[in-house]
Structure 1
């Protein structure tokens, strides 16, 4: 089947589905009154609905990416057990090591 034939067939079924919706009749009654197979109507109704969902799920969204400058960390928070230590730039590493050792001994 060619693309133009597929498109024409789809448009024909879209029109039938719209006519059914506008009629207010049940699907079975409308199909009977219009000489349309109930099962074929259901097939096309589902197929068209699925294709519309697929289109909606494939939509593009604009994304704006802004360059951000890395923030400088002015301090570091260290937790040992329930105790928190805030370390600022220029700290004494030896003092920090000693404090952590004492905390670990008292936490364990």
Structure 2
């Protein structure tokens, strides 16, 4: 078997593995391969196209002085978006909104 045939064979195996929905270890166990073999060929064939862990990014937050309002609140700006948070807000909901705004703005 030449190098091109071997590569095509492993490309097909990788496609089968991806389509299976199984973990790498489980797929290898069911198909008679060692986990390190599949890992090696994925890295060799896909190289830098293998998804990496997302990196953490920081977003600046600007707080506006709420003393001009009768009701206590703060305004949070994320990029070009802003939200007003009033006293008694739901912290969990606020965290979810900030996550969404980081991707949209």
Structure whose alpha-carbon radius of gyration is higher: 1
Class of the TM-score when normalised by the shorter of the 2 chains = 0.3 to 0.5
- TM-score normalised over the length of structure 1: 0.43
- TM-score normalised over the length of structure 2: 0.44
Q: Whose strand fraction is larger, Structure 1's or Structure 2's? A: 2
